[in-house]
Amino acid sequence: MGIEGKVIAITGASSGIGEAAALHLAKRGAKVVLGARGEKRLRAVAERVAQAGGEAAFRSIDVTRLEDLSSLVTLACERFGNLDVLISNAGAMSIGPLSDLAVEDWMRTVDVNVKGVLCGISAALPLFQKQGHGHFIQTASTAARKVVPGQAVYAGTKAAVVAISEGLRQEVAGQIRVTVISPGYTATDFPSHVRDADLRARLERSRDELAMPPEAVAQAMAYAIEQPDGVNVGEIVVRPAAQP
């Protein structure tokens, strides 16, 4: 029960929601293990955790590679003795009409958003089963519930995350917890994924007008983690009050 002392691994931890989660959970007493592709930015987040009195380890990883997720789990066990929570937060965003035929962007979005979650499950599930406890938290999106033009591929991957997580929850019920966090507009650098300059500018304006801080999502993650062991929060949808 609670957060203090728990070992929590976070992918996509170098910026945005992942960075906010690392700082917030460390402040609550967790030992955080950070993974992302950019080692320089990861190191900066780990240093901020340490400066605030927390404990952090980090490793540069690509979530589409199972061996990289396994190495993150191994790092948690080597540095802190075990792993209590894996937050699969790394994400990619393909935005634009399907008629653009941005196949490379589609494949990257599927690889990161779906394969990344599956690789995390594959890496952590045997350990969680051996320990007799564990908690998967997967970052989905309100796009999984409301599809709009230009977001078909992205929404499809996030709907897949919801479905995979629910299937996993049922299979491991009673021993391992599974939570989906579905954020709405969040103040991150997600428009940078968009190639079209006009569309990117429109998304940036919408973000600046509507978006909630990533710390709000981090707090939702903390709520799910701090519940008593016998309680599983299946899904939390958190969006700006102004988001339709």
Structure tokens at 185: 């507009």
Secondary structure, 3-state, 111-149: HHHHHHHHHHHHHHHHHHHHHCCCEEEEECCHHHCCCCC
Overall average pLDDT of the 92-109 stretch:
93
pLDDT at 129: 98
Average pLDDT over the chain, rounded to an integer: 94
Q: pLDDT tens digits for 220-240?
A: 999 999 999 899 999 999 999
Number of neighbouring beta carbons within 10 Å of residue 219: 17
For the chain, the domains span 7-237
d(CA 62, CA 51): 27
Q: For 7-237, which CATH class?
A: alpha beta
Measuring CA to CA, how many Å separate 120 from each of 42, 93, 98, 105, 200? Answer: 19, 19, 29, 22, 30
Residue 185 bears catalytic tag: no
pTM equals 0.95
Catalytic pick from 58, 128, 154, 190? Answer: 154
pLDDT at 210: 87
Q: pLDDT tens digits for 109-151?
A: 999 999 999 999 999 999 999 999 999 999 999 999 999 999 9
pLDDT at 204: 76
Between CA 149 and CA 65, with CA 12 as vertex, the angle to 5 degrees is: 95
Q: pLDDT tens digits for 160-208?
A: 999 999 999 999 999 999 999 999 999 987 767 677 777 777 777 877 7
Which one-letter amino acid corresponds to residue 131?
A: Q
